[in-house]
Structure 1
């Protein structure tokens, strides 16, 4: 076994072992800021954590880049669960937050309209078709958008000129500071696709599956290996946060929470 693997395994096992002792609950809710793609799964995990420890948790969801900006402006987050490692690393670089730990993984899928004849084999050709509207989230504000542009760069290696075409035509429909919000009770991506704003939308596979459940006519198309982009989710705790913040972060790495993440389609760290 490689040394890095051994060190990683020891780090995870140590954190998991530390998750068992429970910190004394605060009267005030623990402030957890988290990527929008974690909304369903983290709501369930937080509910279980509250029941087990008595610690109330206030969850704030949004695009990770926008949440990081809010934290930098002074909002009172104590735990930050981002859909990438760059935004929490930027907070850590300022000294007030711990270096991020990868706690789950995700990947990109294509969410398509029923009439879009996309398959893993012809997905790139479909997206390059001038008649096909390609939707993404907003880069820099939302890591999902950054991952989409990483896919576009991989597409350039497969077909010369693909990056310029995709970069020019991609519609930044979600995740930006001015992006329209879906009606109450609607998922962002299901709503966007239900309105016909895009024929193909590049998003996390977990989002795509949830959207198909909400709007069954939508299709989930796997991204081929040559274009696939992995998403590593980073977790950080504010250095002056009370003990329940670290306890919750450790609990996210423990087996019960990891089993819940897996049930929602997330990969293990």
Structure 2
């Protein structure tokens, strides 16, 4: 987290030196950390920092269409590197890491050891973010691919049953001020939801009965966050 904050401040400072207003586009999972950084920097420097938090893939598409982002903090390396390759962004720095956890409803009998069996249970609704639009969805499918090596056929089964509930262009938005994962689970739209561990903690702050389940090592998927300045 310290690395995240340092990199973000340096990026904002670099941009602020060239403009009175800084447009920061960042992954939704960075809202808590970078929102505070942006506010603190604005107060200390006098430079306005306008923040836009959304799924990284959707932000990349908006930048490609010409929206005036100046700093892009993505939940993966792929989206900022795509912009770099297109000449729209400078070099990409890996500035943070995350990993997937499972959030479960209080009545689900799930542990780290039986997580895969629970995910494959036909009676259990598995929620994810939307692949391509939101890296959290891409990471969920990487977890499914790992599961296939442990239990052949798991990838096809999970691909067929997973509910893409967040992160897509048509996903239902959570009410203002609500954590979208806590909101989804509170409304019983999934029995188990795969998301970043940082999101899981925030969801349980809003919905204390939720369980947070650590993904076993043989299924664990890490997330690398990339930061770049737009041209």
Normalising by structure 1, we get a TM-score of: 0.80
| Distance (whole Å) between structure 2 residues aligned to residue 167 and residue 99 of structure 1 | 34
**Higher Cα Rg, which structure:** 1
CA distance in 1, matches of 2:176, 2:155: 36
The answer on 1:109 being equivalent to 2:110 is no
2:30 corresponds to 1:38: yes
Work out the CA distance in 2 between the residues paired with 1:155 and 1:56: 46
How far, CA to CA, are the matches of 1:234 and 1:60 in structure 2? 16
What pairs up with 1:83-232 in 2 under 5 angstroms? 83-232=75-224
Deviation at 1:51, TM superposition (A): 2.5
2:47 maps to which residue? 55
- Of 36, 39, 64, the residue aligned with 2:56 is 64
| Equivalence map 1:9-28=2 (5 Å) | 19=10, 28=20
Q: Aligned-residue CA RMSD in angstroms?
A: 1.9
Q: Please identify runs of 4+ aligned residues in structure 1 that moved more than 4 A.
A: 22-27
Q: Distance in 1 between matches of 2:222 and 2:130?
A: 17
Q: Distance in 1 between matches of 2:181 and 2:99?
A: 16
Give 3-state SS (helix, strand or coil) of 2:127's partner: strand
Structure 2 residue matching 1:234: 3-state secondary structure: strand
Provide the secondary structure at the position in 2 that maps to 1:130.
coil
How far did 1:25 drift?
Answer: 5.2
Secondary structure of the 2:67 match is: coil
Which residue does the alignment assign to 1:250? Answer: none
> Shift of the alpha carbon at 1:28?
3.7
Which has the larger share of strand?
Answer: 2
C-alpha distance in structure 1 between counterparts of 2:212 and 2:58, whole Å? 27
Per-residue CA shift, 1:4-57, capped at 9, x if unaligned? xxxxxxxx9xx97x95xx666566420010000011111111112223322210
- Structure 2: state its 5+ residue gaps: none
Which consecutive unaligned segments of at least 5 residues does structure 1 have? 1-11, 240-269
The TM-score, its normalising length taken from structure 2, stands at 0.92
Q: Deviations over 1:39-83 (max 9, x none)?
A: 111111111222332221000010000000000000000000000
